[in-house]
Structure 1
């Protein structure tokens, strides 16, 4: 069930996901909130000086890659966030009473229903009247030319961003929990055009301050996308061949221990063969064949893809990454970095 400003949002009962989405996008309060969000200075999350610890203004961070989620306890974590979203959508859900927050980086309508259940497993409580704050940031108008009227496409699930956003809204509406939409900075609200009329997102990510629930647009330095960046990036594509992850978000973080626990994911020799072929492509070809939004990707996209493929070529056996089929576990050190530990110790 969806709420706006404390009141139930009740469009026509016969409306589908896209109709509900457009109605929400046109709600005056959410339009105003999105306009205000556009004026917020994007926070740059980076490494402090030459040390390996996250800047003091950030504190204890949990970073989420594509198709991952994490539920964090505000007594253990200061901020949780994600970036690198183009046609993907970042979702944050906060229990107002417990202040527990779950954040996800959703990349496909197929993961939405199960993904929301995963996110709410540690956030929702037994109170039927509990209200959960929800923020959606990401996606952009990836199907319409500049200055087009978005109403023309409200019943057409084209592109990548629109079907994903429509599915998220539809799933929130159909669940029994009460979701208060606070930020809906998606689609045309999150779109800018260059001088050639090419669209791209205004913001690619966010952080949530766990003590307050405040959400801020953010981008991350490559060294703060940790721990275990490459293996986690590989899981995004490798999980398509691993039926255990079908329709689910990827487990990343152990809420109770404040440890990153990267659940095993299987990849095959086929992934190595594909990686070897893709490594031979030009940068332009990599953008064309490997991105859902080639003209909107950041400058690190191609390098990130090549580093993934290099790892797969060197480590085609997934059990090298996950010995004994156990998670890769990392804990925080005193200087703020992550250190891998032996799960059997």
Structure 2
């Protein structure tokens, strides 16, 4: 159940409308809601924060990569965030009463149903009475130019392609269908999160954010390599590998333990097939890798290809996933007194 400005949100689809049209109508209506338009304008005017562990060693951060989620306790964690969301969507759910905050980096409609249930497990505690604040950030308007027509918000009542729109529509549809009370505070996606160059090419305005857990406030953010918490390469490899690991079908990747404030990187297996693909890709030039491996080549960060090559080098050196996850055990990291992470 969705609320905006404290009031229930609903659309009244015609009897002839398909379920897909109903999902689209709900998303378009929310995108045009005056309260959410105002919130998007305010978010757009907020200066992006460059997050580096070198600049703030006193605060406790939790960072999540694509397809991961983390539920954090404000008594243990000061900030939680993500970035690199071009056609992905960052979803924040915070319990108004106890401050428990869950953040997910969603990359496909296929993980929304189970993923949302994973997020709510510790945030709502199976209570339909919990008042939950919700923020969606990311998913720029990547529809083809003949569909975009230069509009600020994607056109309604057309067959939209791209990656962002189906994901956003699925999230909204799932929130509407569930019985919990979701108060949408920010809907900074699609047209609201899109800028265009002189040739009409679309780019996201922001690709990341940071949540202050004690207040629930959000600011746009980008993270350097020092601030992305432990085990970066293995965690990134899980993103591409989980599609071939049936144990992760429809699920977000388990990454962080709320009660102990430790990163618990659940195991994920990769196959020789993936290794063969990598050995082919690594011989391509950077431009070809970008076009082949990205859903939005013009919108990626400058280090996109470099990051892929670092992952591929690790996989070539460690072709057997059991080297990274011996006996299928999770990789566990805890904070040090100095604010770093050490493997347990």
For the superposition of Structure 1 and Structure 2, which TM-score range results when normalised by the shorter chain? over 0.9
Q: Distance in 2 between matches of 1:98 and 1:250?
A: 24
Find the partner of 2:197 among 194, 199, 211: 194
Aligned in 2, Cα 1:88/1:151: closer, same or farther, shift over 3 Å?
A: closer
Aligned in 2, Cα 1:119/1:19: closer, same or farther, shift over 3 Å?
A: same
Find the partner of 2:186 among 183, 188, 203: 183
Alignment of 1:72-83 (within 5 A): 72-83=72-83
Q: Distance in 1 between matches of 2:53 and 2:136?
A: 26
Q: 1:296 and 2:299 equivalent? A: yes
Which residue in the other structure is 2:237 paired with? 234
Q: Contact 1:22–1:154 (CA<8 Å) still a contact in 2?
A: no
Q: Contact 1:25–1:31 (CA<8 Å) still a contact in 2?
A: yes
* Aligned residues between the structures: 335
Alignment of 1:138-177 (within 5 A): 138-145=138-145, 148-149=150-151, 150=153, 152-177=155-180
The RMSD of aligned alpha carbons is 1.4
Aligned in 2, Cα 1:66/1:151: closer, same or farther, shift over 3 Å?
A: closer
Unpaired segments ≥5 residues, structure 2: 15-20
Q: Contact 2:175–2:182 (CA<8 Å) still a contact in 1?
A: yes
Unpaired segments ≥5 residues, structure 1: none
Q: Contact 1:69–1:252 (CA<8 Å) still a contact in 2?
A: yes
Aligned in 2, Cα 1:167/1:155: closer, same or farther, shift over 3 Å?
A: farther
Q: Distance in 2 between matches of 1:189 and 1:31?
A: 8
Q: 1:32 and 2:35 equivalent? A: no
1:197 deviates by 1.6
Runs of 4+ in 1 over 3 A off after TM superposition: 125-128, 144-147, 149-155
Q: 1:85 and 2:85 equivalent? A: yes
Q: Contact 1:3–1:181 (CA<8 Å) still a contact in 2?
A: yes
Q: Distance in 2 between matches of 1:127 and 1:254?
A: 21
Alignment of 1:1-40 (within 5 A): 1-13=1-13, 16-40=22-46
Which residue in the other structure is 1:123 paired with? 123
